[in-house]
A and B are shown apart, each in its own frame.
Chain A
Amino acid sequence: MTGLVYKEWKQNKWFIIGMVICGALPLILLIVFHDSVKTASHYQLVLNTGSIVGILIAGMLQVMTLGGDDRKLWAYFISASPDGSKGFIRVKYEMIFFMILTFLLSIHFFDNLILMFTIDKGIEGVYDAGIMVLPLIFLQIFLRAVDIPFTYRFGAKKGSIIKMILMVLCAITMLIVIMINIDDLDVIIDGIKDKMAHYSETPLIPAILVSTLTAYYISYRISCRLYMKGAELYDK
């Protein structure tokens, strides 16, 4: 198992270090635009934009760690090793989860740093982006839970195309549902906002977050089952 961890580190260390840099993106934006960032709303904009762009880039880097392993020879070799393909997939899942946590810790630190900096400068009314980041982190965990089985079943290229087609189909379905309920849309959005604001008073939001973690585990089990089937389709 240690060997597999070492392999992942050697192969993906820059992507892992990239998680820290993605978390520091709000600070990088602040340094780049320090001349034009003056008011509380400017700081908030930098904080929110930096956090969202950071999350998007971090997600991209996490997916990129899946590339390079969709080779027939590697799949046969690893399935014959003592850890087997299950061990390999488990280390991959653990590494991606670790990357998400690294990003979360990094963004939490740098957001807090900017917030404290605004307090020192006497700028009031800047809020922590953490409230927005945490749900997006769980969304990221869910998206990885979807990404990984597709990549292992169909290979990195084919898998991403099939996943994109499914995502577009989901988006179209959601759009149709929204169009049908267009008159009640405000009521639905207000309801969601209310649930988010009082998440501790209803088990719904916490249950969704816990099911995201469960989905990640189920995704691992699915990937274990699909990996050898997918290996037949990989290049040599």
Chain B
Amino acid sequence: MRTTAAELVPAVLDEYGELTRVALCDYLRPREPRRHLYGIVADYPQRGGRMLRPSLCIATARVFGAAPENALPTAVALELLHNAFLVHDDVEDDSEERRGKPTLNSLHGVPVAVNVGDALTLLGIRALLDNRGVLGPWLSMRLIEETERMARESIEGQAIELGWRRDNALHLTEADYLDMVLRKTCWYTTIYPSRAGALIGRGHASGLERFLRFGFFLGAAFQIQDDLLNLRGDPARYGKELEGDLWEGKRTLMLIRLLECCAASERDRLGEFLTRPRRARQASDVSWVRERMDHYGCLDHAGRVAHALAGAALHEYAEIYAPLPDSRDKQFIRELVTWVLERA
């Protein structure tokens, strides 16, 4: 009997997530200076998280024939770099909540948080360097190059999004949004874990471009669903500030859709709302934006787009994985596409 996404994906995420967490402990041992650095460095990684990225990396490596331990340093590096991005992201967005608790910038202030983010980045590089004992110098070097590209794409995507907010961009299209998401989210959430896993499993770099399309469609569906959960997620399970994206003026697909669809007078009001800094925004204005999104069906539209992109991801999955022997890891990667839309 075929295992469903609801059963298989959480089981594999638990299994590979636990493997990664154990290995992660080696990099997060408490040491001095503890109070303002290493005691805080472990905070975000210890708050949990789904471990989607390291699990995808390990599963892909296994599909292509590697042992899980061969992918473990890269999976750990990915999780450390992910947490570094989150710390800096929270500072840049002035966010207040992360994984159900106050953000590091809220708890310790911006300077300490930025420094902790830098430390997490360096620990991630350390984990990548530890690959050389497992994979040898050439493959380790190739993974470092791949990581450099991933990090560069991510910060370029972040720059695009920050620029939209700083310049109060109001005339964005869905293509603009997808291009930003490709760089900001897809590269480090799905493209890099897939490419790194394939690199580790196959031992050579040819054919990695095939993972661009699969990773893009999967990652874009994931991001849109993530943004939808920010608006209508279960408060007990979501872990971040509900409607935080509206407070931050984040250019989500729903907001771009609203700007496209709404009447001119509404667009003027929305533009004025987005011009204000976060602290000057009122709850009544946020409620109005949310109500207009419902009125124009922006959430439903985004949901349909996410499903469509997930369908394309399944097509691209078949292009890559169909010739490979069936396995639990192969099925996990396939079911991941469904899971990103079903998760609450």
Co-assembled chains A and B: no
